[in-house]
Amino acid sequence: MDEKTRILVVDDEEVVRLSHIRTLASIHCNVEVVRDGSEALRVLEQRPADVVLLDLRMPGMDGMAVLKTIKQRWPETEVVIITGYPTVETAKEAVRLGAYDYLAKPVGPDDVINVANGAMTQKKWALHQDRTEREAGVGTHTDSARKTSNHSY
């Protein structure tokens, strides 16, 4: 992963935040952590992230509301939901709102690295497609790239 890759971790559990920092340090990216959705949106206003690892259940603003806001305001940011309370309904909703992936806790270090790398690859591909379409005069990129993704939820 490029050294410029910015990952924002949003989780109300300190042990999870610290674990993600340790894990992501091994792939040489810039990692920032926050404990809730409101703080995440404030950080994104100042420093947009490439990838957001987002918990669903947090005090205040829940993860779905944060996901929806991120995808409306920073559509190029890839969001991965990582939750201790997975359900089919929340997985479907997360994908419908534009999440790159949806993982159930506990997640191991390899899972975190793989999903972060995958999300960054998706972002680079989508940006490349958008640039290619603009140069060819085809139009603007929609989320068609996401719709053809081969994730299983």
The domains located in the chain, with CATH, are: 6-147 (3.40.50.2300)
Check if the beta carbon of residue 117 is closer than 8 Å to that of residue 109. Answer: no
- Quote the pLDDT of residue 146: 45
Confidence at 139, pLDDT banded by 50, 70, 90:
low
pTM given for the model? 0.82
Check if the beta carbon of residue 1 is closer than 8 Å to that of residue 117. Answer: yes
**Using CA of residue 117, residue 73, residue 20, residue 107, what is the dihedral sign?**
negative
If you average pLDDT over every residue of the chain, what do you get? 87
Summarize pLDDT for 90-106 with one digit per residue, the tens. 999 999 999 999 999 99
